[in-house]
Every structure is written in C-alpha cells, then in structure tokens.
C-alpha cells in the first residue's frame, strides 16, 4: 500500500531544497542551471499536490501546466504564465540541441521572483 503522506512529504521537502539550490545557482551566475532547478522545485511541489488529489504516486512527467491540471489546481492567469514560461528551462536543461542564449542575471532574478511567488502559493495550499 502506498503511503501518500510519505510521498507528499518527499515531494514537498525536496522541492524546498531545490528552490534553495536554484537561488544559489542564479546568484552565482549559473543561470541555466538555476532556472532548471527552479523548474524542478515547481515540478516537485506540484507532484505533491497530484499525490494528495489522486491518492496515488505522481506521474513521470515534467510539464508544469499539465501537473497543475492533474492536481485540480486553478492558478491565476499570471501564475499559469510563469508555469508555462518555466517549462522551457526544463527542456533546455535536458536537451542540448534546444539551448538558447540564457537570460541575463536581471531576467533570471525576475523569473526566480515570479517562480517563488507561485511556489509559496503551492506550499500554502498543501
């Protein structure tokens, strides 16, 4: 039998750690890697929500918008926008043929601020 609370705790706690790593990497000008970890943090907290709603193990997918749908969440349009935008950093982190010029430090900080706002909203809902 699946221990859903254990699954949720794993995803939530791991997501918090990944967000800390994301901030550290962006601060050290490792933009691409930092934004990849920001995506990972959002993915994991969304998977915690999926576990809670479905009472099952989270699916092996990375699309933040799709995970929000599976979790039956209703993000505001601006929150949905950042989930969609952050998705691109997951792809770039995994597939080198999709590499684009990384965002500037200023743009990366802006992404991090917006991602963190969504992240905090998701944590509060758990």
Q: Helix (H, G, I), strand (E, B), or coil: what is residue 54?
A: helix
In eight-state DSSP terms, residue 96 is G
Q: How far apart are CA 29 and CA 77, in angstroms?
A: 29
What's the average model confidence in pLDDT over 90-119?
86
Region 31-48: mean pLDDT is 97
Provide, for the chain, the percentages of residues in helix, strand and coil under a 3-state DSSP scheme, each rounded to the nearest 5: 75, 0, 25
Domain 4-125: which CATH number of 3.30.1540.10, 3.40.50.1820, 1.20.210.10, 1.20.120.330: 1.20.120.330
Mean pLDDT value of segment 90-118? 86
Q: Which of 118, 88, 117, 116 is nearest to 103 (CA)?
A: 88
Confidence class for position 94, pLDDT limits 50, 70, 90? low
**For the whole prediction, is pTM greater than 0.85?**
yes
What is the arithmetic mean of pLDDT over 109-126?
98
Is 93 a residue whose pLDDT tops 70? no
Query: Average pLDDT for residues 30-47, to the nearest whole number?
Result: 97
Euclidean distance between CA atoms 11 and 17, whole angstroms:
10
Domain boundaries, the chain: 4-125
Residue 69 pLDDT exceeds 70: yes
Choice between 95 and 14, residue whose per-residue pLDDT is larger: 14
Residue 124 has pLDDT above 60, yes or no: yes
Q: Given pLDDT bands bounded at 50, 70 and 90, which one contains residue 101?
A: confident
**Beta carbons within 8 Å of 67's beta carbon, 6+ residues apart:** 43, 46, 47, 49, 50, 58, 61
């Amino acid at each position: 039998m699946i221990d859903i609370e254990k699954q949720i705790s794993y995803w939530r706690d791991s997501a918090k750690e990944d967000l800390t790593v994301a901030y550290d990497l962006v601060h050290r000008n490792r933009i691409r890697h930092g934004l990849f970890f920001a995506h990972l943090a959002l993915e994991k907290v969304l998977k915690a929500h999926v576990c809670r709603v479905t009472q099952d193990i989270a699916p092996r997918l990375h699309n933040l918008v799709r995970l929000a749908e599976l979790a039956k969440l209703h993000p505001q349009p601006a929150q949905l926008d950042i989930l969609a935008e952050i998705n691109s950093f997951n792809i770039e982190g995994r597939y080198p043929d999709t590499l684009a010029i990384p965002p500037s430090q200023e743009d990366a900080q802006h992404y991090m601020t917006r991602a963190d706002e969504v992240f905090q909203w998701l944590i509060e809902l758990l």
